[in-house]
Amino acid sequence: MNRSNEEAIEQFYTLVEEYMDNGMVYRDAIELAAVTVGGLIPAKVSQAMAKYQEAIHPQSQLSQEENKDALALLSMGVLWDNTYFSPIEPDETTPLENTLAESVYFIMKYGREEEGLAKALEANTANEGDVALRAKAIRRVLGKA
């Protein structure tokens, strides 16, 4: 793992927390922090946002699926690395960066619901991947919302 990527991800979450402490809503804080930090983070946040939109859009195939969160994470895995399937074009994404995007997906999907933090953590636990790392990220953001 590239140490600078790990530092960039930590900087991203720190900025999200700071922006929220200053009154910004979590979605705006996530988008602004991603652009501010740069590197691979804006692309990962953008992919997570797109997958979240697909999961909630009533006319999408994904939104009709019973296990939409697992399928969303699985399909993001197809896009990002060899964890699930072979992608068309391999990239330099690390598991930590994938976890960032998966965390943003759960934050966006459940954050506006009543008891959003609890629902996001429950959905996180029900899915494969780095549950502990995703839970830490979800708490950092939705714990402030």
Q: Where are the domains of the chain?
A: 39-142
Angle between helices 3-21 and 41-56 (to 10 degrees): 60
Prediction pTM value: 0.85
Give the pLDDT band of residue 30 (cuts 50, 70, 90). Answer: very high
What rounded mean pLDDT belongs to the chain?
87
pLDDT at 94: 59
Q: Six-digit token pair at 46?
A: 């953008």
Could you tell me the CA-to-CA distances from 26 to 15, 44, 62, 107 in Å, in that order? 11, 16, 24, 9
pLDDT tens digits for range 68-102 = 999 999 888 755 444 444 333 434 455 788 899 99
Q: Which CA distances in Å does 6 have to 71, 80, 98?
A: 26, 17, 12
Report the phi/psi class of residue 81: left, alpha or beta, with left for phi > 0 and alpha for psi in -120 to 50.
Answer: beta
Q: Is the pLDDT of residue 60 over 70?
A: yes
29 and 19 Cβ atoms separated by less than 8 Å: yes
Q: What percent of the chain shows pLDDT beyond 70?
A: 86
Distance CA 94, CA 107 (A): 20
Helix axes 26-37, 41-56, angle to 10 degrees: 150
